[in-house]
Amino acid sequence: MASLRDDEFMEKIAKAVELSESDQVPARLRARLYSALVQQQAQTGPLMSLSETSARGHQLCVFEQLVRIVPVGERAKSLNICRVCHARVLAEHLDKPPIYWAGCPYVEFKKS
């Protein structure tokens, strides 16, 4: 009997209380999630080349733009160049990283 009452009590509490939280994901976690995903994508083969990415209408950051226009093969343009960018490092460790240029996903994460 007692456990039935306890069970009913818990059912009512659970029904009445949503435990969801209103917190927004910290910008540095967004940055880490993105880095981890792209890193995993890169491990299984080349990323979409920067030429194609640009042709699809996406804005590239200044560093990506540079790689896109230099006369190197598409393979080099399909590397995960964020891996060697200081913007990534800053964004993964700071919620308000001092990075500002357009087209960089890490800058966008800081805004959202």
- Rounded to a whole number of angstroms, the minimum distance from the CB of residue 96 to other proteins is 17
Q: Is residue 14 a contact point for other proteins (CB under 8 A)?
A: yes
Residues that bind other proteins (rule: CB under 8 A) add up to a total of 50
Binding string, 84-103, against other proteins, x = CB under 8 A?
--------------------
Nearest-approach distance from CB 71 to other proteins, in angstroms: 22
Give yes or no for a contact between 59 and 101, defined as CB atoms under 8 angstroms apart: no
Residues in touch with other proteins (CB under 8 A) = 1-3, 5-25, 29-30, 32-34, 36-38, 40-42, 45-48, 52-53, 56, 58-59, 80, 82, 105, 108-109, 112
